[in-house]
A and B are shown apart, each in its own frame.
Chain A
Amino acid sequence: GAVVSQHPSWVICKSGTSVKIECRSLDFQATTMFWYRQFPKQSLMLMATSNEGSKATYEQGVEKDKFLINHASLTLSTLTVTSAHPEDSSFYICSALGTVKNQPQHFGDGTRLSIL
């Protein structure tokens, strides 16, 4: 089945550091990737939609300068949390959608980000 790899799985870093999270589709081409944020005991909150070769579309309330998204190839999208602060600590999950019509989204295993 379709596999999405997300890396790293866990990051702990100091306040002010920028952190890059990678999302790769391993066995299919992902024209669209989604980035979600999940708080403890809550559902997924869509942050942005990333289309290959174009600018990401951010959801209302998500700072595009804070959460930089790059989708330079059909198999890789990156989310960079710039100058991270403790309030950015969260679980970030990506998902990927291929070119086949009505194909379901497949999710990565998530990245636990802890900012000290």
Chain B
Amino acid sequence: GEDVEQSLFLSVREGDSSVINCTYTDSSSTYLYWYKQEPGAGLQLLTYIFSNMDMKQDQRLTVLLNKKDKHLSLRIADTQTGDSAIYFCAEKPGSARQLTFGSGTQLTVLP
């Protein structure tokens, strides 16, 4: 079955880089997503990557995909206090329209 796993917590110092990791099991995944959720809010789409890509960069965000190992990572450069939030990894398997979400990683940025 489908399963997406993330570590639950990550703490970094302001100005450092953050790397949030995600593993998934469904090899038919076509798209993989990163969403950000701030307290009491919905999910904000940060970025996504098609399964035939290895890397995607968008300003401070870099997504790396290792399809062989089914491993996805999100790197946030120059992490700021406003980046403190929960980050969800999600996959879109095959022809399915719904997403499968990971448990979310709580990122805490320390001053």
Q: Mark B45-61, 1 if CB is under 8 A from A, else 0.
A: 10010100000000000
Given the complex, which residues of B lie within 8 Å of A93, measured CB to CB? 42-43
Count the B residues whose beta carbon is within 8 Å of the partner chain — how many? 20
A110 touches B40 (CB 8 A): yes
Q: Are A112 and B101 in contact (CB under 8 A)?
A: no
Task: Give the interface segment out of B14-22, B29-37, B72-80.
Answer: B29-37
Is A107's CB under 8 angstroms from B40's CB?
A: no
* Residue A43 lies at the interface, judged by CB distance under 8 Å to chain B: yes
Known A-B contacts A104-B45, A109-B42; the reply to A42 vs B97 at CB < 8 A is no
Chain A interface bracket (under 10, 10 to 19, 20 to 34, 35 or more): 20 to 34
**B44 proximal to A (CB < 8 A):** yes
Complex formed: what's the CA distance from A55 to B104 in Å? Answer: 31
Q: Is A25 an interface residue when CB atoms closer than 8 A count as contact?
A: no
Structural contact, B44 and A107, CB atoms closer than 8 A: yes
**Given A42-B103, A43-B102: A106 touches B45 (CB 8 Å cut-off):** yes
Supposing A46-B98, A49-B98, A104-B31 touch, asked if A110 and B45 sit within 8 A by C-beta, the answer is no
Is B24 close to A, CB under 8 A?
A: no
Q: Min CB distance, B22 to chain A, in Å?
A: 12
Interface residues of chain A: helix, strand, loop or mixed (majority): strand
Kindly provide the distance from the CB of A100 to the nearest chain B CB, expressed in whole angstroms: 12
A110, B88: Cβ atoms closer than 8 Å: no
When the two chains form their complex, are residues B98 and A108 in contact, meaning their CB atoms are under 8 A apart?
no
Distance, CA A28 to CA B33, complexed state (A): 20
Chain B residues contacting A95 (CB-CB under 8 Å) are 43
B95 smallest CB distance to A (angstroms): 11
Residues of A within 8 A of B (CB): 4, 6, 32, 34, 42-44, 46, 49, 93, 95, 97, 102, 104-110, 112
List the 10 shortest-distance A-B pairs measured between CB atoms, nearest first.
A107-B43, A109-B42, A107-B42, A110-B42, A43-B103, A43-B101, A108-B42, A93-B42, A44-B101, A43-B104
